[in-house]
Structure 1
Amino acid sequence: MSMKIKFKYVFLLFSLLGITACDEKDDPIAEISIDQSALTFEAAADTKNITVAGVTTVEVAVVTANPEVGPNDEPWYDTKFEGSVIKVSVKANLTSGNRTASFSISSGKSEPVSFSITQDGSRFSVSKDILEFGERRDTLTIEVTNTAEEEYGVDIEYPEGTQEGDKWLTYFGKSISSLTLIVKPSNTFSREITVNLTLGGQVIPLTIKQVNFTGTYTFKATDYDADGYWDRTFTKVILKANDEEDGTYILMGKFPSNIYSIQCTYQEGKLVIHTGQDLGEFGAPFKSESYLYAAYGDVNGTAPLLHSNDVEASYAAPLSFNDDDVINFVFAAGITGNNQINGIAVKNDNKVLNHFFDIKLTWVSDDLTEPTSGGGSIGF
């Protein structure tokens, strides 16, 4: 081969190498871009996406995490690259504190980019943490705030060795947002137990009380007639459970000659009289349908003013104990809805039959013998 031909080949080789070198030098490095660099999660488990552009493959690495792991010593976050999307997932946060993590996205020689995540701490609370029941079988439902949306535990603290038949409290209808408790009838004066709701490391103690307040009472009240206000006392008045309707009670005794049947309930530790009820037809001399009205006495001692028989009004008395540990129900003036009320009145088309202001019931004994003479009965 002549020198001239060899020179041509050498020149061609260097030319190709030069072209290749120029190509490599001019090829730009791909730039990674993402559509968002900070994600915020609520306490519940969730997944959100970050869209990646500029490259087709990436690696995602955690840089920092606080805390590093969840309650099970496993990462509380996860990342997965699919197509052009990074799927970022978090487990439910069962703690009250926020948690954070930061990540780096890399691809070959491209400049890494970063993103961060923040997850809110969970809120775990109840609408009421002290629940009071009467002595009869009853249920109460409380609202549960559970932003982690995970199942919580319910632990009733019975003494060790308690037999199944002696367990008087249980629950049903448990959901993420509510819990219904049920008590068996009680023949003891008072009993109390603690129920713990648990979610992760969070604990909510509930105090459950059941009081048997049935028995004989003294009934004191202030009445009103043409001569003004005057005090009245009725003895041997019986407060008993209404067997015909759950959750209601009947007060029977030597009341005025008219027979009353007034529905009332025991709610959240209070005996509550609801107005607006048809009390039935009374005998002579006022034989007509009678109703229960909400009433309040005028501060100047003039005639009490009567509201309409509004079903929204109620007259309530919290269960309390006097200095001798005797049960009292003292009905206090208050406002229910738009109505002020400090008493009740029985009224028919002819006249107001009776007023009962400032009612006070005082427990005397557990005797439930019904009176055989005297007036009528008031159903509570």
Structure 2
Amino acid sequence: MDAAAINTRRKHSVSNGVRNLHPIYLDRALNAEAWDVDGNRYIDFIGGIGVLNTGHRNPVVMARVAGQCERFTHSCFNALPHEPYVAVTDWLAQNCPIEGPAKSMLTNSGAEAMENALKLARAFTGRTGVIAFDGAFHGRTLATLALTGKTKPYKTGLGPLPGPVYHLPYPCRETGISVADAMDAIAKLFAVSVDPGCIGAVVIEPVQGEGGFRACDGEFLVALRRLCDAYGMVLIADEIQSGFGRTGKMFAIEHANVCPDIIVMGKGIGGGFPLAAVTGAQDVMNALAPGGLGGTYSGNPVACAAATGVFEVLEKNEILKRARQLGEKYATHIAWLRDLPGGHVIGNMRGIGAMRAFELIADDGAPSPRRLQTLLQLARAGGLLLMPSGEHANVVRLLAPLTIPFDQVDEAFAIIGKLLPQLAAVSDGDDRS
């Protein structure tokens, strides 16, 4: 069945609230390549929005999955535990940057993991207030949506959300907010709006995903650690998109040598299978009574088996080293694009390691969402799938698998290079945001 026929069915049976970025339907994929139902081949720089760090259908991951499927496919861990769950939590305890003994719980998605992190923070501190940051994205469920620092399209028409949540400026190069500015905002918050004794947690993405791959100033992460220690707050690092090697470290917060109290992770942990996790300091993770954590499918044995395959690939393939090399290659290519005819549409590069992005800008240097939308369409027609992000919807995320062959990276940027004159001809007009 071709894409047109599937799309007709989609319109009749899929909620309008579910948006699709690209009007194609995948048929098969391998590592960084994908083919749609109409037979078109693409280089995939979306990677399931950061899920496929180890690529589509990684053979090690698929072998672990096949082996588990031969034994059993489901057991609710709360009712009848299984070893694959413990294999994952063992690895997390040994590899997450948590000070002292660490424990974990597994979930189905990053948003579910963040919900449980908030529960644990409340139980441990006895407080309900949370500090989050402008430009953040922590999920679409009600509590995580309250943390998300962007109204449209996520919060529109929903009314009051769970709280209290206090959003503060995010210090990084792209916002122009300094560490001093951000700390002053916290001091003002405590002086004007809320007593610090009411704040149970500070939630931050060390590198914002939906916010446009903005890397937090490392000094601010150190300052947050001190702040949380001083006031008895729980520091929660959202590593859902930045974790599992994407930035060249296993977790992005390691670049600042900071240990949070809780790490929330998902996406890359399962190699394409639905799995996420909350890992934290033992006393925080034990704050809820038995039965307070869990879920029917949380830590599904097949997804856990996939994760053990991911862990093996991360180690044996030296993925952290490769992520750093990939980031350097991205930087070289983006510099090359700027020197081509029409290259003035390429703005700043963002991010760390292989968690990179670049801006599309107008002739006067302002954000150009129309040029970005044009690039998405033209690149897709040329065989390259890209993903937007950023406050002004003008930032292209580079989320190819960390296992992508370097010649396919060259091929992808060659496609973009050929499109620059067409992008330069696009004017934003009145569509600027």
TM-score range, shorter chain: under 0.3
| Structure in which a larger fraction of residues adopt strand | 1
- Greater relative contact order (Cα < 8 A, sep 6+): 2
| Structure in which a larger fraction of residues adopt helix | 2
Q: TM-score, normalization: structure 2?
A: 0.21
Q: TM-score, normalization: structure 1?
A: 0.23
Highest CA radius of gyration, 1 or 2? 1
